Each structure stands twice: as C-alpha cells, then as structure tokens.
Amino acid sequence: MTATAVVGIGELVTCDGSGDSGLGLRTDAALVVDDGHVAWVGDAADVPDADHRIDLEGRAVLPGFVDSHSHLVFDGDRAAEFAARMTGERYDGGGIGVSVGATRAADDVRLRGLVGRRVVEMRAQGTTTVEIKGGYGLTVDDEARSLRIAREFTTETTFLGAHVVPPEARGDRAAYVELVTGPMLEACAPHARWADVFCEPNSAHAFTEDESRAVLTAARNAGLELRVHGNQLGPGPGVQIAVELGAASVDHCTFLSAADVAVLVDAADTTVATLLPGVEFSTRSPYPDARALIDAGVSVALASDCNPGTCYSSSMPFVIALAVREMGMTPGEAVWAATRGSAKALRRDDVGRITVGGPADLTVLDAPSHLHLAYRAGVPIASTLVTRSDGWVGSPRP
C-alpha cells in the first residue's frame, strides 16, 4: 500500500451535508489517499505522514462529478442538424434515426473506441462516475451490444430500447413495444442496471403514457431499476409515471404542472428531478424552473445528457455554469446537484461526496473555490485528480 498526502487544498468541498447548500466546506484542508480510497481528512496542520505528498498550492478539491444521464454509445455526425436548429428548425426527436443508422453500421471495435474517447473526455473535465444508456441500436442485437460495450466503462448502464420507435417499426408501434418488453429486454437485462423510456406524447417518435408504463413495468419485473425521460418537450405524464413506479429519477422536467411539482416534493426521498440544461442550451428551449423546484423541496440533480442530437457536450462544469446563469441555482446548489444530487439519482451513497473510507474520486480545480466553476465558464479549470493504488496522483494519464 502506498499512501499519498494531498496538502495545500485551499477549499475542500466534502458534500457532507453541513453548511451552505450542504457542501461541507473546509479551508486549509488536507487529505490522505491510500489504495484508491480516502484514508484521512482534516486540517493541513495535522496531516499524518505518507509515502508521497502532493501540494495543490491553494486549489479547490471537490468530489468527482457524477454524470447520471448520458448517451455515449453512438456513431454518426449530427452537427448539421444542430446548425439548422440554430437557424430556427424545431427539435422533435426525429434526428435520432440518423444516429441509429450509423450506430448499427459501426463494428464493435469502432463503437468501443468512440465510447472510450467520450469517457476520457468526461474524466478530463472532472467526471468520475457516469451512467451510460443504449438506445441507438433499437434491435435486439444492437441494444445488447451497446450495453455490453457500455458495461466495459461503468456499472451504471441503462437499457433504453424505448428511446424512439425506429423507422422500420413506425407502421406497427404495438409490435415494437412487444419487442422491447420481450426479447430485447431479455437480451439486455444481464448488461443493465437500469431501464429508461422516452415518455413524450409531444413527439411522434417517442412513447405514450400507456406504452411507457408497459416498458417500465416489464423492466421492473425483469429486475431492473427505473429512470424516465419526461416532460421535455411539453407537459406530459412522465413525472407522474416515474413517481408512481418508484423510478430513481425523472429527467428533463422542463414543462411541469403544479401537480407534477407536488408529487415530486412528496417523492423527494425516492425520485430525483434531474435537470439537463445543456439540452435547453443546444435546442434553444426554455430552461426548467430549478429555483421553484428547489424552493418547493424537490430533490434536484444535474447531468449532461451528452448525446449526438440535443446536447453533444460532456462537460459538467458547463452544466453547472448554465444552472447558475440560466436556472437561478446558486453555485453551491449547482455543485451539490452535480455531485451528491446526481449520486442520489443513481441511488449511490459512496460517490458524490468525500468521506473517509469512500473512493478517492476527486476533482481538482485550477482555482481557489467552487465559485469559479460558473464564474470562469468555458475555461478548463476542472480535472480529475486521478488516484491509483500505486500512489500516483496528478492530471489524467494520457
């Protein structure tokens, strides 16, 4: 075992639940990492002896970001669709078909390489836990292989056969739902922890209330835990279904009724509202009312939704900056939502906070405090402070 003392931490964000926004801020702190775990946290003056010593010279350290919503398994380029949208074309979920075609055509080696590069890109920006969905294969074999590949990078894999109805199935939606709830679910369940559905009656390509309930119920019966894409493009049943079926998270929550907010308040211990402001940015849409949700007592998380159509950004610092600038969250609330809040959306108690005995998933800022994440928007100040059992600590290895 080789222990490394990390000293000179100007601000340590522990997310232990105390103080402003629960951030548990400490100044002049130090910590010791041993065998990939946090072995000690305390005042710099009391740091115990260790084999190695890293001086961060006043930089801030945070729990690694938890990105609880991403779609990294895809091939194909949709930059032209983004450019068209910026000149006024409206997003309705139809462009997903472009990614489906390219993903089906990619071989395993290529697809694995694409996912791997995106994970490295996330890690370089301070993300240490990521959820990855399938959903661009939409056949039994292509969904199973998407999840097999995703599993090579994370345990938080999500079956999303009900992303859209694929073009070849548009004539018989019922048959496609039967495929998703039958053979596709059976092939994918061994590689997935979660199941998700794009519940969006406002898109002709997504799933209705009844279809969504059928997909989620079948997945739950197969032993998967649930998440829901809901209330993205307009008012809809997504929030109500998510709470009714005990989903860990309902994601987007852009168009909510007073009744939706009320059920999310009641379900704050089980169902998190995960906001994805990168999508509103990339589709030039109105942002969710984060301020109202937090003030009402809803459990709120932030995630990237990194995907080729509606937000091809993997940057949690960008998401935090948007949350502060566009959704009325304080910097502290945004950091909490991107760490502990997002861990809660994955029902993970070990990540999204810095605690003795917990994993050394640490992010360092080239700045003295977490305020700089929003203040210095667009500047790459966040990186993962990679910690390995060999005691090596530093910026991400190439």
- Residues engaged in binding Zn ion (CB under 5 A): 305
Instruction: For Zn ion, give the closer residue by CB, 137 or 331.
Output: 137
Between residues 44 and 122, which has the closer beta carbon with respect to Zn ion? 122
Number of residues assigned to the chain: 398
Tell me the closest approach of the beta carbon of residue 307 to Zn ion, in angstroms: 6
C-beta separation of 183 from 159 below 8 A: no
Nearer to Zn ion, 34 or 200 (CB): 200
Query: Which helix (H) or strand (E) is 319 found in, with range?
Result: helix 316-327
Q: How far apart are CA 87 and CA 30, in angstroms?
A: 50
CB of 272 to Zn ion, least distance (A): 15
**Angular region, 15: left φ>0, alpha ψ -120 to 50, beta rest:** left
Distances (CA, A) of 364 to 65, 203, 361: 11, 40, 10
- Helices 316-327 and 331-338, interaxial angle, to 10°? 140
Of 21 and 99, the one with the shorter C-beta distance to Zn ion is 99
Q: Please state, in angstroms and rounded to a whole number, the distance separating the CA atoms of residues 119 and 388.
A: 18
- Closest residue by Cα to residue 312 from 99, 164, 128: 99
> In terms of CB distance, is 280 or 305 closer to Zn ion?
305
Smallest gap, in angstroms, from Cβ of residue 335 to Zn ion? 22
Please give the Cα distance from 230 to 213 (Å, whole number): 12
CB of 257 to Zn ion, least distance (A): 21
Q: Which lies closer to Zn ion via its Cβ, residue 4 or residue 282?
A: 282
User: From the CB of 114, what's the least distance to Zn ion, in Å?
Assistant: 17
Nearest to 139 by CA among 106, 99, 187: 187
Angle between helix axes 96-105 and 140-151 (nearest 10 degrees) is 80
Nearest-approach distance from CB 40 to Zn ion, in angstroms? 39
Residue nearest to Zn ion (CB): 305
Do residues 201 and 237 make contact, with C-beta atoms less than 8 angstroms apart?
yes
Shortest CB 139 distance to Zn ion, Å: 20
Cβ nearer to Zn ion, comparing 143 with 305: 305
> Per-residue DSSP letters for 41-78?
EEEGGGPPP-SEEEEEEEEEEEEPEEE--B-----S--
